[in-house]
């Protein structure tokens, strides 16, 4: 089930159904276009990671897809059932964990439903805890449970691991990979971490100046390893596309690679 949030959508000519279709999306703040005629498509069940420097429009795009920002031009087609998890867990300190999981859902609180989602993220033993007693990793898992309890067809993740320590981050990444494989929903992950993008995603997009400047399918077998074959070359390629000097050595040459900084182009993702 999907809904057109912002205008008529022409069915795509792709071979499979799309979970997300965006055409000509523009979002301006004053005279500055943060998103500039952006084109994007995501398949059902696809895991896509979105990279880009700060200020390139990544989080703005995610907010549009989540329905939190409607001051736009263009067409956006997204599933009705979608959920978002941010870098900050945003738990209400005066509500126990299970009640936080149900925040925003209509009807009477369904504790059993909350407990099921908490068990799925390994937090079943903290159902009655107060948010102040949770560790950073536990708080982020509670935020994921709040997203999952909505049974989303599209899960939007805005740097959800950014505030976690290295070991907790690895655990959280593995949890998200397992949840995605179990649930089968489409996932869009906004991140600054190239290695994280390559560990989790089917496809990686690089955003620059409000447009999708580059995309790369990740053809590595799962589960993935930082030391696995082909990982270093893909990492170098994406770092080069992000403008990190010297990162392109060892990367596979492509027609778009010219040794210079990434240049945005208006192509469908």
Going by the DSSP 8-state scheme, the letter that residue 187 receives in this structure is E
* 208 conformational bin, left if phi > 0, alpha if psi -120 to 50, beta if neither: beta
> How far is Cα 56 from Cα 254, in angstroms, rounded to an integer?
24
Query: In sequence order, which residues have a C-beta less than 8 Å from that of residue 75 and are 6 or more positions away?
Result: 4, 6, 7, 8, 9, 21, 22, 23, 24, 25
| pLDDT for the residue 245 | 64
d(CA 145, CA 119): 9
Q: Which of 113-127, 214-228, 236-250 has the lowest mean pLDDT?
A: 236-250
pLDDT above 70 (res 154):
yes
* Whole-angstrom distance, CA of residue 89 vs CA of residue 160: 8
Confidence of residue 1 (pLDDT cuts 50, 70, 90): very low
Q: Do 206 and 48 touch, CB atoms closer than 8 A?
A: no
52: alpha, beta or left? (left if phi > 0; alpha if psi -120 to 50):
left
pLDDT, averaged across the chain:
85
Higher pLDDT, 206 or 257: 206
The pLDDT score that the predictor gives to residue 247 is 52
What confidence score (pLDDT) does residue 207 get?
95
Task: Give the residue among 152, 24, 149 at the shortest CA–CA distance from 81.
Answer: 152
The three-class DSSP label of residue 36 is strand
Distance CA 208, CA 267 (A): 13
For 254-265, the pLDDT digits (tens) are: 333 333 334 444
Residue 193 pLDDT > 90: yes
Q: Give the pLDDT score at 70.
A: 87
* CB of 76 closer than 8 Å to CB of 19: no
Helix (H, G, I), strand (E, B) or coil at 176: helix
Tell me the pLDDT tens digit for each residue of 233-242: 999 999 999 9
Mean pLDDT (whole number) for 173-178:
93
- Across residues 129-137, what is the average pLDDT? 95
pLDDT of residue 162: 82
Identify the pLDDT of residue 202: 96
Residue 216 has pLDDT above 50, yes or no: yes
Task: Give the start-to-end residue ranges of the domains of the chain.
Answer: 95-151
- pLDDT category at 12 given cuts 50, 70, 90 is very low
Residue of 55 and 23 predicted with greater confidence: 23
Does 54 sit behind a cis peptide bond, omega within 30 degrees of 0 on the bond before it?
no
């Amino acid at each position: 089930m999907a809904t057109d949030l912002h205008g008529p959508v022409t069915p795509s000519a792709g071979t499979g159904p799309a979970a997300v279709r965006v055409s000509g999306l523009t979002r301006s703040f004053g005279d500055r276009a943060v998103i500039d005629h952006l084109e994007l498509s995501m398949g059902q069940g696809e895991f896509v990671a979105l990279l880009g420097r700060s200020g390139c429009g990544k989080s703005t795009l995610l907010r549009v897809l989540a329905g939190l920002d409607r001051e736009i031009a263009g067409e956006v087609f997204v599933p009705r059932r979608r959920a978002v998890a941010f870098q900050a867990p945003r738990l209400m300190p005066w509500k126990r964990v299970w009640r936080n999981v149900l925040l925003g859902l209509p009807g009477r609180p369904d504790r059993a439903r909350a407990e099921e989602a908490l068990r799925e993220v390994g937090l079943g033993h903290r159902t009655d805890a107060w948010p102040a007693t949770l560790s950073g990793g536990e708080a982020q898992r509670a935020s994921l449970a709040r997203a999952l309890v909505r049974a989303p067809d599209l899960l939007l993740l805005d740097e959800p691991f950014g505030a976690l320590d290295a070991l907790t981050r690895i655990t959280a990444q593995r949890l998200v990979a397992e949840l995605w494989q179990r649930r089968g929903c489409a996932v869009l992950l906004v991140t600054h971490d190239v290695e994280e993008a390559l560990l989790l995603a089917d496809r990686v997009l690089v955003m620059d100046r409000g447009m999708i400047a580059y995309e790369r399918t990740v053809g590595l077998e799962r589960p993935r390893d930082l030391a696995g074959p082909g990982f270093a070359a893909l990492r170098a390629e994406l770092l080069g596309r992000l403008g990190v000097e010297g990162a392109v050595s060892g990367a596979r040459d492509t027609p778009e690679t010219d040794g210079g900084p990434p240049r945005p182009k208006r192509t469908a993702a």
